[in-house]
Chains A and B, each alone.
Chain A
């Protein structure tokens, strides 16, 4: 069984194609890094998998089923700076959001829900800060609040967008330990990571991305000088000129209504 399967995925942002014809299947129970330079479409890929972006083409499968069917089995950890941390909510409030069930408006959080939230907070070592307003936490602590919220969801597959950004070394290690413990319980962790230096050694599997898929596979196999060069060696000139052309001419990325018979 695959954790995530992506087929012919193309996504455009303001008409600029940021992901072109990406196609891969990812295994279960591993820590999978999505790496690539700035603007290579890493975050967009996560968002596209989570259904946050309209797809120009292709489809996504989660645990061999549609995203809609698997919503409760997949958890998303957005980038830390996408929310206003001044929001009137405590650590507990945010983590309990992980226990909300869409559509069930009148359902109060049960004691089990609350207990799961408390346990998630414990796992990320934020118990002493449980009732603190989230703006009064350090960057690393805020990141852990988001991870705890995902843990509270009790999912099988976790998609994390840059969980190591703006985080101190000690927190980085603490988060990595936690992810490894999750993996050892059979969970799948897919995370976007911009920097090849630090934590990559702890990944099991890599997706190397630069608008198009460079390669993917177990880390020992794909982490080669050649792959790094094609991932990080700058945009292909002709390719990016074409991208620009599509944007300025407002051209459709995919034709419609004209197919081979």
Chain B
């Protein structure tokens, strides 16, 4: 049963995760995933200091403390990297651990003073959505709205900055200002996201939706939208699952659902997904088989054999029998051959298609010898592959460049329609 507190918590989770997904796109595209991790760890001492100084768990003070320390972490990385000869990843590693160590010390101080449990600060490690109050959710919502507005208003500079910073500079954009703004937004989102997933897993909330969404689109706007949806669904799903058990942290559940999305993406995404690649490979293989059979039929035609059976075909060409049967089925489905009893013959349309393949093969052989100075005994192999690839436009170019040739290098006729 959904109580109103529960709905509130789920809304909070969904909003935090969705906005983290949006901001994460920039961290991902700017290749700053590790900086997100460093900031998440560095927000912890900030939250603790916010609590110690204000003496309350008022989300405003905790957020403020987190913001200050998160931004300090970014500055620290920058200063360490520039002023010492340490590489950036070393600087990030140092900052992550040092700030986190301070955070742990502060937390134990608070805990020893006796009001740690009451503060629920330990939940910042792995996140515990159930402890969210109405006030928390309102503060998060305001922060989230601010971030969404900023991403909208500053779309152009953020895009330029992420893609080509030097160019943005030469155009006259105040790149430092926008970079700082983007950093502050990231810190803000991380600071509010800690409530949902905690310090350790925050960088996953930032990067996983962005990395997955990149697979589904080539447009930055769509990428941000998809990333937000992934984030929101993981937030709600993780929230519900964590509420099933007593004392269950939210973070791990949210991240596991995100992992599921990533897995689905890697399997099913267009162009780069596993199944897409597999289907493309099998389509290519089928096309190659079909075109090879058609080409062979044309060549048999040239020496007077107009009709073949599977076995008479196999006398002339080597091919796996099952594959051949399947290929013959395919080409007769396409109406390229007729089948009467067990005898196959080219149809009129099939003859045109067969001629096309033979023509491409022989044109390419001619191109290799004439233009690329290949020896005649070296051209057949590459032409075998290339004949399946050449598009109509490329064919037109080939014919023109070779000046409408009629014979290939082996003095065989190049058949035109």
Residues of A within 8 A of B (CB): 47, 50-52, 68, 71-72, 74-76, 78, 82-84, 87-90, 93-94, 97, 100, 102-103, 105-106, 133, 149, 153
B153 in contact with A83 (CB, 8 Å): no
Using A88-B214, A88-B218, A89-B220 as known contacts, say yes or no to A51 and B163 having CB atoms under 8 A apart: no
CB distance from A146 to the nearest CB of B (A): 9
* Binding stretch for chain A, among B164-172, B362-370, B406-414: B164-172
Q: Is B80 an interface residue (CB 8 A)?
A: no
B218 in contact with A71 (CB, 8 Å): no
Main secondary structure of the interface of B (DSSP, over half): helix
B residues near A83, Cβ cutoff 8 Å: 163-164
A-B contact pairs, 14 of them (CB 8 A): A47-B166, A51-B170, A68-B172, A74-B170, A75-B170, A82-B166, A87-B29, A87-B162, A88-B29, A88-B217, A89-B219, A103-B172, A103-B174, A105-B156
B residues near A105, Cβ cutoff 8 Å: 153-154, 156-157
Q: Which of B166, B173, B220 contacts A78 (CB 8 A)?
A: B166
CA A78 – CA B168 in complex, angstroms?
11
A residues near B29, Cβ cutoff 8 Å: 84, 87-88
Residues 131-175 of chain B, each 1 if its beta carbon lies under 8 Å from chain A, else 0: 000000000000000000000011011011011101101111110
Q: Is B201 an interface residue (CB 8 A)?
A: no
Using A105-B156, A133-B218 as known contacts, say yes or no to A87 and B173 having CB atoms under 8 A apart: no
Q: Which of A97, A133, A149 has the most CB of B within 10 A?
A: A97
B169 in contact with A100 (CB, 8 Å): no
A residues near B219, Cβ cutoff 8 Å: 88-90, 93
CB distance from B305 to the nearest CB of A (A): 43
Residues 18-34 of chain B, each 1 if its beta carbon lies under 8 Å from chain A, else 0: 00000000000101000
CB distance from B32 to the nearest CB of A (A): 12
Q: Is B223 an interface residue (CB 8 A)?
A: yes
B164 in contact with A102 (CB, 8 Å): no
- Give the residue name and chain of the B residue nearest to A161 (CB): B166
B residues near A84, Cβ cutoff 8 Å: 29, 31, 163
B residues near A72, Cβ cutoff 8 Å: 172
CA A139 – CA B288 in complex, angstroms?
29
CA A51 – CA B174 in complex, angstroms?
12
A87 in contact with B163 (CB, 8 Å): yes
CA A51 – CA B176 in complex, angstroms?
14
Q: Which of A51, A78, A87 has the most CB of B within 10 A?
A: A87
Interface size in chain B (residues, C-beta < 8 A)? 25
A residues near B169, Cβ cutoff 8 Å: 50-52
CB distance from B280 to the nearest CB of A (A): 15
Q: Which of A47, A52, A97 contacts B160 (CB 8 A)?
A: A97
- Give the residue name and chain of the A residue nearest to B85 (CB): A14
CB distance from A85 to the nearest CB of B (A): 10
Q: Which of B31, B166, B172 contacts A52 (CB 8 A)?
A: B166
B residues near A97, Cβ cutoff 8 Å: 159-160, 163-164, 167
A102 in contact with B171 (CB, 8 Å): yes
B164 in contact with A82 (CB, 8 Å): yes
B residues near A71, Cβ cutoff 8 Å: 170-172
- Give the residue name and chain of the B residue nearest to A134 (CB): B218
A88 in contact with B223 (CB, 8 Å): yes
A residues near B170, Cβ cutoff 8 Å: 50-52, 71, 74-76
A residues near B171, Cβ cutoff 8 Å: 71, 100, 102, 153
CB distance from A230 to the nearest CB of B (A): 31
CB distance from A14 to the nearest CB of B (A): 9
B154 in contact with A90 (CB, 8 Å): no
B residues near A75, Cβ cutoff 8 Å: 170
Residues 159 to 214 of chain B near chain A (Cβ within 8 Å): 159-160, 162-164, 166-167, 169-174, 214
B173 in contact with A89 (CB, 8 Å): no
- Give the residue name and chain of the A residue nearest to B223 (CB): A88
- Give the residue name and chain of the A residue nearest to B160 (CB): A97
Given A89-B163, A102-B173, 20 additional A-B pairs, CB 8 A:
A52-B166, A52-B170, A68-B172, A76-B170, A78-B164, A82-B164, A83-B164, A84-B29, A88-B214, A89-B220, A90-B218, A90-B219, A93-B219, A97-B159, A97-B167, A100-B171, A102-B157, A102-B174, A103-B174, A133-B218
B residues near A100, Cβ cutoff 8 Å: 156, 160, 171
CA A94 – CA B214 in complex, angstroms?
18
- Give the residue name and chain of the B residue nearest to A136 (CB): B218
CA A87 – CA B172 in complex, angstroms?
22
Residues 317 to 365 of chain B near chain A (Cβ within 8 Å): none
B residues near A47, Cβ cutoff 8 Å: 166
CB distance from B124 to the nearest CB of A (A): 33
- Give the residue name and chain of the A residue nearest to B393 (CB): A128
CA A133 – CA B216 in complex, angstroms?
13
B residues near A103, Cβ cutoff 8 Å: 172-174
A residues near B218, Cβ cutoff 8 Å: 88-90, 133
CB distance from B167 to the nearest CB of A (A): 6
Closest 4 CB pairs of A and B: A133-B218, A76-B170, A102-B172, A71-B172
